[in-house]
Amino acid sequence: MILGLLLALNLFPSIQVSENKILVKQSPMLVVNNNAVNLSCKYTYNLFSKEFRASLYKGADSAVEVCVVSGNYSHQLQFQFQSKTGFNCDGKLGNETVTFYLWNLFVNQTDIYFCKIEVMYPPPYIDNEKSNGTIIHVKDNRLCPAHQTPESSKPFWALVVVDGILALYSLLVTVALFTCWKFIQRELNLRNKDEELYCLYGNVNTYEGIGM
C-alpha cells in the first residue's frame, strides 16, 4: 500500500506559482507510532483581513474531508477545527502555517493527505494548486509477545526445582506410610493366627481332661 502511495505521490505535477494560486508545502511522509500525528502545511500567501478556509483531505482523489477550519485573522476569534467524517482533529494557525493534529488513528487510515487553502472573501476566490501531499503511515501498535530472557527464566526454574523437591518428599512420605501400614497388617494377622491356635489347643486339652 505504501509503495502505491509513493508512486501516486510522484505522479502529481510540480507546483507552479501564479498570481491566483497559493503555494503549499507539506512533508512527503509521516510515520505514526502512537496513533497521533501533527501535519503542518506551509503556504505562501498573506491571509490577514481575508476570510479563508483551511482543510485537510484524504486519498489520492481527495475524496474525504478529514478536518477543516475557517475564519478571519482580523477578527481575533478562536478558530475551531472540526471533522464531519469521524476523525479526531484539532489544529493551530500560525504565520503562513496551518497545523492539523489528528489522534486515535487506525492502521486502515494509512493514506495520502492533502492540505487545501482557500481565500473565500474578498473576491476573487483563490485556492492552492494541489500539493504533492503527505503519506501518513499508521503503524500497528499491538504488542508482540516478549521473548523470555535467561534472567527472566531463572524464577521459573527455581519454582520447578522446589516443586520437584516437594513432590519427591510427598512420594517418600507416602511410601513410608504404606510400608508401616503393611507391617502393622502383617503383625495383626500373625497375632490373630496365634490367638486362633491358642484357642484351638486350649479346647483340645479341655476335651482330653474331660475324657480322662
What pLDDT is stored for residue 15 in this prediction? 38
Distance between CA atoms of residues 131 and 41, nearest Å: 10
- Expressed in percent and rounded to 5, the helix, strand and coil fractions of the chain are 35, 30, 30
May I ask the CATH class of domain 2-138?
Answer: mainly beta
Q: pLDDT tens for residues 95-124?
A: 789 999 999 999 999 999 999 999 999 899
Contact predicate 135/6, CB 8 Å: yes
What pLDDT is stored for residue 11 in this prediction? 45
Separate counts of helices (H) and strands (E) for the chain: 2, 11
Alpha helices in the chain (DSSP H): 2-11, 150-211
Q: Looking up cell 496513533, which residue turns up?
A: 35
Contacts of 102 (CB under 8 A, 6+ apart): 36, 37, 39, 66, 67, 87, 88, 89, 136
Q: Pick out the chain residues at pLDDT < 70.
A: 1-20, 75-78, 143-154, 181, 192-212
What pLDDT is stored for residue 16 in this prediction? 41
What pLDDT is stored for residue 14 in this prediction? 38
Reported as half-sphere exposure (CB side, CA atoms, 13 A), residue 41 has a value of 32
What pLDDT is stored for residue 9 in this prediction? 47
Phi, psi of 136 (to 5 degrees): -100, 115
Contacts of 130 (CB under 8 A, 6+ apart): 12, 62, 114
Closest CA to 175 of 165, 164, 167, 163: 167
Distance between CA atoms of residues 32 and 138, nearest Å: 5
pTM comes to 0.60
